[in-house]
Amino acid sequence: MTSIDSDFAALAAKLRASTVRVVDERGRGQGSGVVWNANGLILTNAHVVRGGSALVVGEDGARARARVVGRDPQRDLAALQVDARNGLVPAEIRPAAPLVGELVVAVGNPLGLVGAVTTGLVHRSSARWVVADVRLAPGNSGGPLADVQGRVVGINSMVARGLALAIPVATVAAFLGLAAGPEGTRAA
């Protein structure tokens, strides 16, 4: 195994550790989520969870009930709170927007493939979307889009014209009501 192979494997493992599977309380949908902080706050998409609670499944298979503590359908964001924090590893968050041409990594649970990893380049980065040519499928929604250091730069939301659209970290911070950084737990 080359150095780049082992570095990428370590990056994938780091991102998988802070990515959870999110199952809507009604069992009608599922996607991914990002463990946002050590207090049990998890971010996902509003279209992934439509009720007041969800089941969260960690990389190790541990399950916990989560309450929906914030939702913004216009931004397609939802904040979940779990009480059982055992095994949850918070993601490292990068407040700066990614640059056009930057290599990014997406992790999620597309089509039942738990912890799937895909890479691509940023095509555009704005206040509304980070647009990248990573391959997303149903189940990737709510998962992290990260830089090559494993720092989350966005929350994957949808695919448009073959490109992935992720909600930038700055928009997530505004949704959470934070002025600087991911440490708070208030949700809009």
**Which residues are catalytically annotated?**
47, 76, 141
- Measured CA to CA, the distance from residue 79 to residue 83 in angstroms comes to 13
Which of 99, 92, 105, 79 is CA-nearest to residue 186? 79
**First vs last Cα of the chain: how many Å apart?**
46
Q: Which of left, alpha, beta for 63 (phi over 0: left; psi -120 to 50: alpha)?
A: beta
Per the structure block, which two tokens stand in for 55? 């089941």
